[in-house]
A = this chain, B = another copy of it.
């Protein structure tokens, strides 16, 4: 079939690009960390998408569950070879076939439904490097990086996710044979959810309760071979399979694992920290806090991933909104681009601002992470708790906002957003998994709340405060907020002030309950609604301040005036929008006049108007290629209707005029005299 998609772009989108003042190429360099990195990224993408058949991105929509999996494995292998080749050309002798910088491109670019080796890449290798002895790293990590073995990380069980301490898989040390004997004591203890565990991995990091001579020694990690390397058959004592279809991540091949007297050598317990000696002597881990840093690191990745998903959805919806024309504003005028409807602008532009705010916050967190690692190497651990709390907040807020935003963006595309080939539904399905994994969001917010409660009690007791919660001090006195003005600083300060007073109020409820006789944990549980709100605001003030300071700081100093202005407008939008969104809290603690609120409303309307002509250029600046977006609504050239039509014609059901069920079921039914 010759393509009906015109070779020239849609005139509406051409006009948008011509009229924008913001320079999308300049923005792309800024967004991707410099001209060199952008060039790299483009070359890698070009290589990965080269030679793929037309409509490859649609194909998996029409395969059955098994077909989706097998095709994903094939594509993983093809992509891996391409990546390896690139890697060798650029860095001969380098061994890492999954260079971190490529992961983004790899994971949601080429495989819209994600891949069965994602967990192998992101966790299996890293955990061995982080928790293994040098010998273990030498033995396992190399083989894993070379993909001679494929692994996964098996922690969560059918009945335990959040409460890791409650997991029931058991490893008993047998000093006679110097082996661990692994067992799944009951159905609820089956490992559940590890990516690639179903039919892909042949090894797993199994998290289990260690027992030595019947004595409990806490949670440890064990490398267990689960499938034969030659036949891929499950190893003896291993009950393994996939958990079935999910809301998203169609190709991740999440699996289950039951173990029955599976014996592994003593050397298969990861022993960088805790150790088991041949005779069964247990040596406790000298450090307990360091695993926090792994979590901080992983959460930076997740924030960046979900921010990217949000910006992908925003790009698709914004391009569609530039091309779709509907419903005249003045009855006698022609139908405008739907982006001219202010209600539509309100659906699009705040999501763009939010995506960038989290992108920047993740980068900033990354810098803090590296500073903290340096400090730790110098023996200073004081910053760990606040790093942990900030990373929890960022992860919880980013994934919550990104998911809600992606769905709003999908809905902003009307009916056509409901089609699979719009791809926003898939983006949502993949993004929303992060709401739960690596710390369920509500659980994370409650951890922040615990940190805030502790910080507040330090404050009351006059102890030294960590810098990230120094602002709580304002909560000690009521009615101390300086006069409201229209500056960005004022909005950020208002969020801090509100967060401080929300913390005070939550702490008061918590204390009252304890004084009324509740235990501390009961009081915490019963105050959790207010505590959650305080935790949320703690995150909000951090993101707002970070976004504001980073955009007005040195990192944007070299941008041209119009490009910088576009970013400034996004900060303005983000801050005003956030303030209005939390007005219920702000108004409880800060006296705003009717005119103040009206002025915020006016600013919201004004900044939407300013962003309107720049929106396409801004989203172009994220530099998502058509292959990455994989959307009939979001292609760079804006030829939406032709792509929708062409995609429909490619549906396998349309390859024959009449489906089998007609003669078999429908016709006899229509003819039956009922």
Contact = CB atoms under 8 A, between A and B. Distances in A.
Interface stretch (A26-34, A146-154, A451-459, A556-564): A146-154
A158 B522 CA distance: 56
Interface stretch (A12-20, A103-111, A211-219, A526-534): A526-534
A148 B420 contact: no
Contact of A330 (B187, B442, B519, B674): B519
Q: From DSSP, what is the main secondary structure of chain A's interface residues? A: helix
A407 B525 CA distance: 24
A-B pairs, 6 with minimum CB distance: A73-B661, A584-B584, A583-B584, A64-B64, A245-B420, A247-B425
Contact of A658 (B231, B648, B651): B231
Nearest to A61: B245
A62 B64 CA distance: 6
A118 B352 CA distance: 38
Contact of A246 (B231, B418, B644): B418
A674 B146 contact: yes
Given A521-B331, A669-B147, A65 B661 contact: no
Interface in A398-443: 407, 410-411, 414-415, 417-421, 425, 432-433, 435-437, 440-443
A255 B320 CA distance: 21
A250 to B, nearest CB: 10
Copies in the complex: 2
Contacts of A669: 77, 80-81, 147
B335 A166 contact: yes
A437 to B, nearest CB: 7
A161 B325 CA distance: 11
Contacts of A326: 160-163, 166
A234 B657 contact: yes
A241 interface: yes
A373 interface: no
Given A70-B664, A583-B587, 15 more contacts: A62-B65, A65-B651, A77-B669, A150-B666, A163-B335, A192-B415, A241-B648, A241-B649, A241-B653, A243-B651, A244-B647, A246-B418, A411-B432, A529-B604, A588-B594
Interface size band for A: 35 or more
A329 interface: yes
A119 to B, nearest CB: 14
A638 to B, nearest CB: 13
Contact of A421 (B147, B244, B442, B509): B244
Interface stretch (A280-288, A311-319, A339-347): A339-347
Interface in A495-510: 505, 509
Contacts of A81: 669, 674
B641 A187 contact: yes
A156 to B, nearest CB: 7
A143 to B, nearest CB: 9
Interface stretch (A193-201, A378-386, A542-550, A622-630): A193-201
A342 B500 CA distance: 23
Nearest to A667: B232
A580 B588 CA distance: 12
B666 A200 contact: yes
A52 to B, nearest CB: 16
